[in-house]
Amino acid sequence: MAQTTEPAGTAGRVSGFRSAELGWPRLERIPHPPRRLPLLGDVLGVHPRTPVQDSVAMAARLGPIFRRRAFGKEFVFVWGAGLTADLADESRFAKHVGVGVANLRPVAGDGLFTAYNHEPNWQLAHDVLAPGFSREAMGGYHPLMLDVARQLLAHWDEGERAGTAVDVPGDMTKLTLETIARTGFGHDFGSFERDRPHPFVTAMVGTLAFAQRRNTVPVALAPLLLRGAERRNAADTALLNSTVDEVVAARARDGGGQGDLLDRMLEVAHPATGERLSAENIRRQVITFLVAGHETTSGALSFALHYLAQHPAVLARAQEEVDRVWGPTGEPGYEQVVKLRYVRRVLDESLRLWPTAPGFAREAREDTVLGGVHPMRRGAWALVLAGALHRDPEAWGEDAEEFDPDRFAPQAVRSRPAHVFKPFGTGARACIGRQFALHEATLVLGLLLRRYDLLPEPGYRLKVAERLTLMPQGLRLRLNRRSAGAGAGA
């Protein structure tokens, strides 16, 4: 079976965290924040709950490559268009399983997202599962996506009739969890029938938050400061494992799911080698899809709905497109969703401003020089800070902080440098489910725009919560049902 590259010096073994001093011979060329503190490093003016947003703010001051030091560890961040394009070169760089992602390995092991490059199960699972995201497969998922969306619409209709604001992040999380669970694994969590989040969601949020917190606590102090959190995380991990084991057992007991992702995991062998996924790896892949397959999409939908509510002209234009393209059709077909080009621009622009997966790390396959200036040894790595890359004035203009979906009009896209929009990572290990997520999100936005006018809560100011992924915090919207004559549908 084809193998991906091994990290430097591992010879098939995991080397663990490498501070930048070990891989960047001319680290002094890279700027860092002023006022470094002994032992603590660059901690002034930052908050442990908002490391991503703090880093984006630093990026604007320090330039397209910079470094931060925390508790004796040095990190290199990159966000300039030219340097990012360099790191996207698959012949010289590969995915690096960075600190935050590695913190999820106790949960997801060698699943697609958290596998090290040298672990063979990544290539095996990728080759087995990639056909599950083909255009043909997507068309098969579409009716199930519609079925879950009906549950959301019914729930929001209740809120609209009662005159109460809806909990956008909470409801988008319910929607996207049910969508990936039903389309991928034939399982119904009953999220819209619950007053409180499903225990799986609570455990998932707990594991993500714990992984984020581990990034901000010194290793030497972790046993003391994280003792209680470690116990809670162990309980959360056990619940995730037991939930997935029940899903897999139900499939084995009740039969197939008409070729969904779980069927592929259980029944399909690698086309070249005949290898199959082990029971343990199937559990890890299911957890990966359930967590990654809904967490980032729910954030993307939530940010898009926030911006639509805040920009009435954009909202009206998007509604006009849905009304025109879908016409009197009761529910759209797969091809009708693809034709919502302006709605897709709204989604892309929301992902530009707030990429819900806020960065990705790349490591050197061999000794090289980044941007012709910064030497890197084999295995040296840098974190591409997508939130800063997506706001680079040189690529996006002086109004890069403003929300403008027309940045994604075809001519505007062609005029920009390559590799300046990276919400799904890059290269061979970019998100395997990105087309699934984009179709689901475009479908749901279209259905909501067709049915409602979106009104922001007075005085709401966007606040972003970080738990490895990004999510608007406390976002609630009020709804007005559109008239049938306006194209609101059934």
Least Cα distance to 303 among 377, 376, 359, 353 occurs for 353
Angle (nearest 5°) at CA 347 between 343 and 348: 115
- Rounded CA-CA distance 73/82 in Å is 26
- Rounded CA-CA distance 129/233 in Å is 29
Classify residue 389 by burial, with Cβ atoms within 10 Å: 0-12, 13-18, 19+.
buried
| Contact by Cβ (8 Å): 287, 108 | yes
Residues near 276 by beta carbon (within 8 Å), at least 6 away in sequence: 268, 269, 270
- Rounded CA-CA distance 128/277 in Å is 9
Q: Which one of the listed residues 431, 436, 442, 469 is annotated catalytic?
A: 431
200 is catalytic: no
424 is catalytic: yes
| Contact by Cβ (8 Å): 145, 169 | no
| Contact by Cβ (8 Å): 177, 191 | yes
Least Cα distance to 383 among 100, 105, 122 occurs for 100
List the 476-481 sheet strands across, edge first: 166-167, 476-481, 452-456
- Rounded CA-CA distance 454/425 in Å is 31
Angle formed by the axes of helices 434-451 and 168-185, to 10°?
A: 130
φ and ψ at residue 445, rounded to 5 degrees: -60, -45
| Contact by Cβ (8 Å): 132, 267 | no
240 to each of 113, 236, 283, 397, how far by Cα in Å? 16, 6, 10, 44
HEC string of 288-334 equals HHHHHHHHHHHHHHHHHHHHHHHCHHHHHHHHHHHHHHHCCCCCCCH
106 to each of 210, 230, 241, 291, how far by Cα in Å? 11, 12, 11, 14
- Rounded CA-CA distance 268/472 in Å is 39
Q: Is 375 helix (H, G, I), strand (E, B) or coil?
A: strand
Biggest CA-to-CA distance, the chain: 67
421 is catalytic: no
| Contact by Cβ (8 Å): 289, 170 | no
Q: Is 433 helix (H, G, I), strand (E, B) or coil?
A: coil
Q: Which one of the listed residues 183, 207, 288, 296 is annotated catalytic?
A: 296
Active site residues: 296, 424, 431
